[in-house]
Amino acid sequence: MKIRTITTGISLQSLKDIEKIKQAAAFNQQAKAFFEQQGYEVQTTRIATNAWSEYSQGLSTVEIISKIQTLEQIGQNLNISFFNIGYASQPETIAIIPDFNKNTSIIYSSSKIGDRQTGINFENAWESAKAIKRISQETENGYGNFRFCVWANCPPGIPFFPTSYHVGNTSFAVGLELGNLVMQAFTQANNIQLAEKNLQSLLEIELNKIAAIAEKISDKFDIAYGGIDTSLTPSLDKQNSIAVAYEILMNGKFGHQGTLAISGMLTRALKSVSVKICGYSGLMLPVCEDVGLAARANEQTYNITNLLLYSAVCGCGLDTVPIPGDITTEKIAALLIDMATLAIKLDKPLSARLFPIPDKKAGEMTAFNSPYLVDCKIFSVD
């Protein structure tokens, strides 16, 4: 089992608050070394802040963009590869995000379009759709949308990007890559009930080991521990593909009958572990981050409507989904509002990371040049 991320959250008072960033970067390296000494591979360390509008008040748009670029330079000098500046929650701040995206390479951000208390913010959804469309047109192959997502009902402290943001005193959380445990549990089962029992048992053992190490790190470095996001994250390794794991139990392919039941079962298991959990702690189905999911997308065994359906019982919403480059802003907004409706109705965190692909239509292949994404056919949006 691999540790996908150690994410440290900090609250900045201004864009000059560099010392906190340095402290967080140093802590991340110490925590990474601590886990590695216990035999775990740590793939990434990350930093997330409070909403960037809170520490850029009084600045013009041009000044904000310049300061965010400076923030990126500081991060790169500290060997930080993943830096999240939190979310925007006003139409005028959401509108600036494409400028951040175009002028940086390690800065991640998001927009908020609703929560349980206030409902859906339709104006924010519309502005977010415009941002997705603009980012797709201003970055190579639309890849800039890898660093931007739109969310509803997501709490602070999620260790996974781009949704991650922070509130309060400095703390850290852990995100894992659990595909190998799922494969192990499923290959030792011939039905969904036994698969769930096997997975719960494996998770209980392995995640308690991780939690114990994280608590020692918290005590040693006097930094609050937010918990483990137990989400089943994707793999570019076919051996640990989410879709391949499903098909061990199914009489068919991912997307066929039974997919919804397995999605619900996985989420139950991931939420049942007796450790401190945080974030999504559910199943993620990011199309372009899993070779099996991408392969089944190519075969059209599932579509965007299916992904929304699975989100009702599982993880994080619509993630890394390629859509036609000429899609209208209205259709993007409709997808975002559907996602937010599920999040609020079911009181769960959901997000959308959509990839309009410039100059390409449904059924054509993406052409990403990224170590994080696998190419697949573009989804139809009717």
Residue-wise pLDDT tens digits, 197-238: 999 999 999 999 999 999 999 999 999 999 999 988 777 776
Q: Give the per-residue pLDDT at 296.
A: 95
Model confidence over 278-320: pLDDT tens digits? 999 888 889 999 999 999 999 999 999 999 999 888 777 899 9
Secondary structure class of 380 (helix, strand, coil): coil
User: From CA 289, how far away is CA 277, in angstroms rounded?
Assistant: 23
Q: Could you tell me which of 241, 262, 240 has the C-alpha nearest to residue 251?
A: 262
Asked if pLDDT for residue 380 goes beyond 90, the answer is yes
pLDDT at position 306, please? 93
pLDDT digits (tens, 9 = 90+) for 139-176: 988 899 999 999 999 999 999 999 999 999 999 999 99
Residue 240: band (very low, low, confident or very high) from pLDDT cuts 50, 70, 90: confident
What pLDDT score was predicted for residue 137? 95
Mean pLDDT over 20-29 rounds to: 96
CA atoms of 378 and 362, how far apart (whole Å): 5
Whole-model pTM: value is: 0.94
d(CA 366, CA 96): 27
Mean pLDDT of 57-83: 92
Give me the mean pLDDT over the 40-55 stretch: 95
Residue range 349-377: average pLDDT?
A: 93
Among 282-286, 341-345, 357-361, where is mean pLDDT lowest? 282-286
Amino acid at the residue 137: Q
Return d(Cα 307, Cα 103) in angstroms, integer: 32
The span from the CA of 261 to the CA of 233, in Å, is 18
Q: What are the tokens at 225? A: 């521990």
Average pLDDT, the chain: 93
Which string of b and e fits 219-252 if b means at least 16 CB within 10 Å? Answer: eeeebebbbbbbbbbbbeeeebbbbbbbbbbbee
